[in-house]
Amino acid sequence: MGQEVKFNVNDGVAVITINNPPVNALNAAVRQGLVTAFDDAEANDDVKAIVMFAEGRTFPAGADITEFGKPTVDPWLPDVCNRVEATCKPVVAAVHGTVLGGGFELALAAHYRIADPMTTFGLPEVTLGILPGAGGTQRVPRICGAEAALDLMIAKAPISAAKAVDLGLIDGVSRAHVRDAALDFAHELIGKPNALRPTRERTEGLSDPVGYARAVAAKRQALAGNPLFAPAKIVDCVEAAMLLPFEGGLAFEQAAFEDCLRSDQSAALRHVFFAERKATKAPEVARAKPRPVEIVGIVGGGTMGSGIAASFLDAGFGVVLVDRDQPMLDTALARIESVFDKAVRKGSITAQMLDERMARLTGDIHYFAVSEADLVIECVIEDMSVKEQVFATLDAVIKPGAILATNTSYLDINTLAAGVAHPENVLGLHFFSPAHVMRLVEVVVGEATEADVVATGFTLAKKLGKIPVRSGVADGFIGNSILAAYRTAADFMLEDGASPYQVDATMRAFGFPMGPYQVLDLAGLDISWARRKRLKSTRDPEMRYIAIGDKMCQKGWLGQKAGRGYYTYADGSRLGVEDPEVLGLIAAERERKGITPRAFGPEEILYRCLSAMVNEGANLVLNKIAQRPSDIDVAMIHGYGFPRWRGGPMKAAELSGLLSLRNQLREFAKEDKFWTPSPLFDEVIKAGHGFDTLNAV
């Protein structure tokens, strides 16, 4: 037995202790150690009962996800669970922390379970595109029936220890140390008749076959049209628990698990799980200590500023909000309070928590009010001269060592840094609207930015419950650079014959919540128009320029805020209606350029949009604006609604084949140099491991 599993006997009870930090993932060494420990405990005549426990922060939080996709190593987790359950002495699992996935299945294979009151339980395998593959789909319904079992496996939300007791999934909670409580429980079992209680022999959850079948049918109905593969397989497995003997159900589950594991959806979702964690790592985070931040100043209480203020207040910071005048300040403060009001109405916070948040918020119309702030974020309009002015004013009032951050979506933070006394304290913190909801924060690192300032940005993002992605300075950083390429590809197709409504429908069918033209209407066409004007002097004259957006802005068709953009919006409604006048404007543009429109199918629309994203992403990695391809995936999923189960543009491309993509880009490039394949493709194709080679940084 290695270090991962220890075994000692305490007055007739064997304590088997798992120790595999950080989350006691059930890797091969732990699984082998458990089998050996249970064999030893069973063979030891001094042992009359067994307690299974784990050191550290949690009882196993699941199988070791890093092992998936590699050759499996015996013993498999289902076999370990069966071994535990078959032990001829009573087994009590003493559980704490986040008992998830295979960890919960291991606990369920014990004959009894005692938990710390703060323990949570979950079967989140579906978030990885798989299903509980160690007997969970067979043991859980035998205890709590189909409805609760399906909720646990598909709703993804973990349940509390109290709820687990209600469902019969655990036998009690103990305020004493859970291992001691489990030892007492085990001692009580010694010598008792029928002390063994294999979960596979429990039937309380199967006692109402009609209700069980109804719950299965209802869940199957609710999942109709769901593009995800694993949820339907979970329903099949839970149904099998009622229809098949336990061993048959286990075999059914194993086959379904392997089907899921082989799916692209699972490869994509497992990729995102690790990509999100990888994104929080950057060289500056590894080598520098973040500066302390307790008070955050925010200049500009518009939609973004008030959303960012709400985020910091939610996370326990003090916030000083500065706006231009009292009416604007009052509007901003009210906007922040309304965010919390909505949260109270939804039940996610209490009225008292609202008051506590608002008590940490102060507002002022004088910049001096942020003189004690540890970090100040400007959230004023996307205009360099206005931002330079704000930075210059702040520079005169902030305390030594305070960090000056900008929420700019596009602009060059080196220019802003050049205008202040300490450019080393300047950072970009690009939040996404609505800022208190969207998890992405682009941490933009300027030429002069100090490492500890970058580390502070990462630490703050994590404290806000967000996902930081490091970006170098480029117009649009990572997300908006990719969005611009995506829109260019779409605009090319508009001018060549597609309609904006076709493009939007295609991208929604792929899994985006909105198509690119719906997003433009929501954000306002003028923002990207301003970018095109800003870049006009550096635009490559050989590259095709689409003026459709400019023409629409010149007509005042700016999107929802103007009542019309690519869609029309009757009296403030957010539901857009297709607009024949937009199609007329596009037709006139085609005529002006002498273009004969051609038909576009959804496949081509999708392929062109995705390949433009991937090509731009490859160049961002090549030019070291993005640290790694998987950061591009995280940015597109958490900032732009790229469907998580597709893995992000770079993963989606890798799953469909990078060589064919590069060759297709070469073909497209004959139409326009916009499509020239990034040299990064050749680099990764030659290395032979796709983008994963670069994700390892």
- Interface residue with ligand T1G among 16, 35, 49, 100 (CB under 6 A) is 100
Q: Cα(665)–Cα(612) distance, rounded to whole angstroms? A: 9
Distances in Å between the alpha carbon of 115 and those of 84, 135, 158, 200, 396?
18, 20, 15, 21, 56
Name the minimum Å distance from CB 607 to ligand T1G. 32
Q: What part of residues 109-148 is at the interface with ligand T1G (CB under 6 A)?
A: 124-125, 128, 130, 132-134, 136
Q: Decide whether 136 or 639 has the Cβ nearer to ligand T1G.
A: 136
Which residues, 6+ apart, have CB-to-CB distance to 45 below 8 Å? none
> Dihedral angle at the C-alpha atoms of 142, 148, 149, 155, nearest 10 degrees?
180
105 is catalytic: yes
- Interface residue with ligand T1G among 66, 326, 338, 573 (CB under 6 A) is 66
From 4, 42, 67, 125, the catalytic residue:
125
Name the minimum Å distance from CB 25 to ligand T1G. 4
Q: What part of residues 79-98 is at the interface with ligand T1G (CB under 6 A)?
A: 98
Q: What part of residues 20-49 is at the interface with ligand T1G (CB under 6 A)?
A: 22-23, 25
Element (H, E) at 474: none
Binding mask 277-316 for ligand T1G (x = CB under 6 A): x---------------------------------------
Size of the site for ligand T1G (CB under 6 A): 24
Q: Exposed (0-12), middle (13-18) or buried (19+): which is 554, by Cβ within 10 Å?
A: exposed
Binding mask 355-384 for ligand T1G (x = CB under 6 A): ------------------------------
Q: Decide whether 262 or 277 has the Cβ nearer to ligand T1G.
A: 277
Q: Decide whether 116 or 374 has the Cβ nearer to ligand T1G.
A: 116
Name the minimum Å distance from CB 624 to ligand T1G. 22
Nearest 5°: phi and psi at 519? -65, -40
Encoded tokens for 172: 């009690």
Q: Cα(464)–Cα(315) distance, rounded to whole angstroms? A: 6
From 4, 85, 105, 654, the catalytic residue:
105
Q: Edge-to-edge strand order for the sheet containing 172-173?
A: 5-10, 13-18, 49-54, 91-95, 112-115, 172-173
- Interface residue with ligand T1G among 4, 64, 314, 491 (CB under 6 A) is 64
Q: Cα(546)–Cα(586) distance, rounded to whole angstroms? A: 10
55 is catalytic: no
Q: Cα(657)–Cα(638) distance, rounded to whole angstroms? A: 24
Q: Cα(686)–Cα(680) distance, rounded to whole angstroms? A: 10
Q: 10 Å Cβ neighbour count for 433?
A: 16
Q: Decide whether 130 or 612 has the Cβ nearer to ligand T1G.
A: 130
Name the minimum Å distance from CB 230 to ligand T1G. 11
Among the listed ranges 101-109, 371-379, 381-389, 611-619, the one in contact with ligand T1G (CB under 6 A) is: 101-109
Encoded tokens for 282: 């950057």
Which residues, 6+ apart, have CB-to-CB distance to 486 below 8 Å? 516, 609, 612, 613, 616
Among the listed ranges 7-15, 19-27, 84-92, 580-588, the one in contact with ligand T1G (CB under 6 A) is: 19-27
Q: Exposed (0-12), middle (13-18) or buried (19+): which is 547, by Cβ within 10 Å?
A: middle
Binding mask 199-218 for ligand T1G (x = CB under 6 A): --------------------
Whether the bond between 21 and the residue before it is cis, its omega within 30 degrees of 0, is no
Name the minimum Å distance from CB 159 to ligand T1G. 14
Q: Residues in the site for ligand T1G, rule: CB under 6 A?
A: 22-23, 25, 61-66, 77, 98, 100-102, 105, 124-125, 128, 130, 132-134, 136, 277
Q: Which residues are catalytic?
A: 105, 125
